[in-house]
Amino acid sequence: MQHSYFDHNATTPVAPEVLETLVACLGQVYGNASSIHHFGQAAKQRLEAARRQVAALIHADAAEVVFTSGGTEADNLAVLGAVHAAPGRDKHVITTAIEHPAVLAACAELEREAVAVTRVRVGSSGVVNPDDVRSALRPATVLISVMHANNELGTIQPIVEISRIAREATVPLHVDGVQALGKIPVDVNALGADLYSMSGHKLYAPKGVGALYVRKGTRLVARAFGGHQERERRPGTENVPGAVALGAAAELAGRNLAAESERLAALRDRFENAVLGRISGAGINGARWSRTPNTSNLYFEGLDGEALVIALDLRGFAVSTGAACSSGAIAPSHVLTAIGLGADRARASMRFSLGRTNTAAEVDGLADALEASVAHLRRISVHA
């Protein structure tokens, strides 16, 4: 059976150009980037070239990019590292109810250290209201952490407005950019972000590499100990092939961003128009405007999303209901709950996330399979 992949917000395939660069690097560049000799220097050169490529994609200075093991580590380092670096004893953090667990769980860890945390609510649009961030500010606020684009809904958050509020209050702003990078233009200066998290495997690079942008002058302490690498922010021998792959992926993404965004948005709209036109009781979760171009979160009234994911997989279409838990079972999504969906509607919701290799024919096939599966599931639930 032909399998089509519509789960790019979970992870992306490694781009052929990235794979080629990665394999060549793995084979040839084995020096330790901290070593003085020829081999170490060769590794260091590749590492720094990759850093420049990543910096270029987000309009940052190369010295502001810290390589990590991925998005989760970047988020943890940003949240824990910035709060621990802040002076004073009473500390307060503002984040939102729809953040990725890499941010929310780090905040929960801070609460155990007696740091106060405000999780700003969002309405049904899935977009944070900057005024709510402003009213959450306290004298003790030491960090604001808001994601750039939501992983489940694709909704883009008003980072520019929030960064203005942060700047006025002289509070650093962390932006989890994992789901935005490569999908929409990212300029950390225009956004006003002080910290910006990135993940390789959402950008057609392999798993196990990511990066954190740290604006010059932002106070951040390391969360791991043992070496001086990455300007004392992230110890451990550098993953040079991983960084090189991320660099190649960043360059590729920057080169194709405008055209690819437009293509994906057209495909996504084609898919949504087909589904909403042909399947009754279906609709979009969250705001239709201001989304990443590849993401579509839809609900199908009365259906069990879990059954629909399995039915579609057996027809050769890989989609997702939301975050998967450790054993692989599907747990209710905290994002859908946070935007006010009841248990039934959350259960009836699905995420379709398109990517570079998807074609119009695949999208049409998905819409057909979805129509057939929804009809089948509704037919049997009538008899049940």
Backbone angles phi, psi at 157, to 5 degrees: -90, 150
Of 216, 328, 361, 382, which lies in the binding site for another protein, with binding defined by CB under 8 A? 328
- 233: tokens are 């922010």
The stretch among 19-27, 111-119, 166-174, 310-318 that binds another protein (CB under 8 A) is 310-318
Of 63, 331, 360, 375, which lies in the binding site for another protein, with binding defined by CB under 8 A? 331
Closest CA to 185 of 274, 292, 266, 45: 292
Q: Cα-atom radius of gyration of the chain, to the nearest Å? A: 21
C-alpha to C-alpha distance for 24 and 236, rounded to whole angstroms: 23
Q: Is 327 one of the binding residues for another protein (CB under 8 A)?
A: yes
Q: Is 226 one of the binding residues for another protein (CB under 8 A)?
A: no
Of 26, 140, 330, 356, which lies in the binding site for another protein, with binding defined by CB under 8 A? 330
Q: Is 269 one of the binding residues for another protein (CB under 8 A)?
A: no
The stretch among 57-65, 129-137, 329-337, 360-368 that binds another protein (CB under 8 A) is 329-337
C-alpha to C-alpha distance for 1 and 39, rounded to whole angstroms: 47
- Of 348-377, binders to another protein (CB under 8 A) are 376-377
* Structural contact between residues 49 and 271, judged by C-beta atoms closer than 8 angstroms: no
The neighbour count for residue 70, using CB atoms within 10 Å, is 21
Q: From residue 183, how far is each of 93, 131, 355, 356 by CA, in Å?
A: 28, 26, 9, 10
Instruction: State the binding string over 162-181 for another protein (x if CB under 8 A, else -).
Output: --------------------
The stretch among 89-97, 164-172, 322-330, 348-356 that binds another protein (CB under 8 A) is 322-330
Q: Is 318 one of the binding residues for another protein (CB under 8 A)?
A: no
Q: Which helix (H) or strand (E) holds 79?
A: helix 71-85
The neighbour count for residue 247, using CB atoms within 10 Å, is 31
Instruction: State the binding string over 176-215 for another protein (x if CB under 8 A, else -).
Output: ----------------------------------------
Of 17, 269, 304, 364, which lies in the binding site for another protein, with binding defined by CB under 8 A? 304
C-alpha to C-alpha distance for 36 and 44, rounded to whole angstroms: 10
Q: Could you give the residue numbers annotated as active site?
A: 325
Could you list the residues that contact another protein (CB under 8 A)? 304, 306-308, 310-311, 313-314, 326-331, 376-377, 380-381, 384
